[in-house]
């Protein structure tokens, strides 16, 4: 599955009734993808679950890939927004507290959409349902946080620290919600990860 790129997507409707119909399709698709997986969910099934004809569905989306793309982008945007909020709030917290808050934000979003996240990840051409794009955006936010926390420092050092923080934190958050560590005590894993990153970073802080 390649998915449609954003520039090729149909524009979201402006009329309230049309917007409501489009949202019904997306809600129905998200539910079915979580229950059945993306490969086993057809546009006919999505339309029926949304209570409309297949012709009505195609007024808003060209195909299933476009629906998948919209749901994926919404999920990634929500993750980025929540992460950005915690980064801004974390400017006045200790490193450990800031990292823990960021991990909680990611875990909360993924947990609330667990079925959809699993479906998107399983169907992605590259495992991770678009996490590379998300990582790039989180790196920018983390780099800004580190610049505030550490003050001026070499660019390569700043980039390396941001990369370690994002990849370590994101991996931990996804593992405790989706991976083999999902049965572990989430609060304990978050605390231990935040303590590890904080202990590594704080000696460098000004």
Q: What is the pLDDT of residues 136-169, one digit of tens each?
A: 889 999 999 999 888 888 999 999 999 999 999 9
pLDDT digits (tens, 9 = 90+) for 87-109: 999 888 999 999 999 999 999 99
Kindly compute the dihedral angle of the four CA atoms of residues 18, 129, 110, 113, in this order, to the nearest 10 degrees.
40
Chain-wide mean pLDDT for the chain?
87
66 pLDDT higher than 90: yes
**7 pLDDT exceeds 90?**
no
pLDDT of 4 strictly over 50: no
**Burial of 61: CB neighbours in 10 Å, binned 0-12, 13-18, 19+:** buried
Q: What is the 3-state secondary structure (H, E, C) of 18-63?
A: HHHHHHHHHHHHHHHHHHHCCCCCCHHHHHHHHCCCHHHHHHHCCC
pLDDT of 134 reads 84
Domains of the chain listed by start with CATH number:
12-62 (1.10.10.60), 71-204 (1.10.357.10)
Report the pLDDT value the prediction gives residue 12, as an integer from 0 to 100: 73
Distance (Å, whole) CA 165 – CA 163? 5
pTM for this entry = 0.83
Give the pLDDT confidence score for residue 150 in this predicted structure: 86
Region 41-68: mean pLDDT is 96
pLDDT of residue 1: 43
Examine the pLDDT at 70 and tell me if it is beyond 70. Answer: yes
């Amino acid at each position: 599955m390649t998915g449609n790129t954003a520039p090729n997507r149909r524009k979201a409707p402006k009329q309230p009734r049309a917007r409501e119909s489009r949202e019904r399709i997306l809600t129905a698709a998200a539910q079915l993808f979580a229950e059945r997986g993306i490969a086993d969910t057809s546009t006919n099934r999505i339309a029926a679950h949304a209570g409309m004809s297949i012709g009505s569905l195609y007024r808003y989306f060209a195909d299933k890939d476009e629906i998948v793309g919209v749901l994926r982008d919404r999920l990634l945007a929500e993750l980025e927004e929540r992460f950005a909020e915690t980064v801004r709030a974390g400017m006045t917290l200790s490193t450990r507290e800031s990292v823990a808050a960021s991990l909680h934000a990611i875990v909360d979003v993924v947990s609330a959409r667990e079925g959809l996240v699993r479906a998107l990840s399983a169907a992605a051409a590259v495992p991770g349902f678009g996490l590379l794009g998300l990582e790039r955006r989180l790196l920018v936010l983390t780099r800004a946080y580190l610049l505030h926390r550490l003050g001026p420092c070499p660019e390569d050092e700043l980039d390396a620290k941001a990369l370690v923080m994002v990849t370590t934190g994101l991996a931990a958050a996804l593992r405790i919600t989706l991976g083999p560590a999902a049965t572990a005590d989430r609060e304990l894993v978050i605390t231990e990860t935040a303590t590890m990153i904080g202990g590594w970073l704080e000696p460098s802080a000004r």
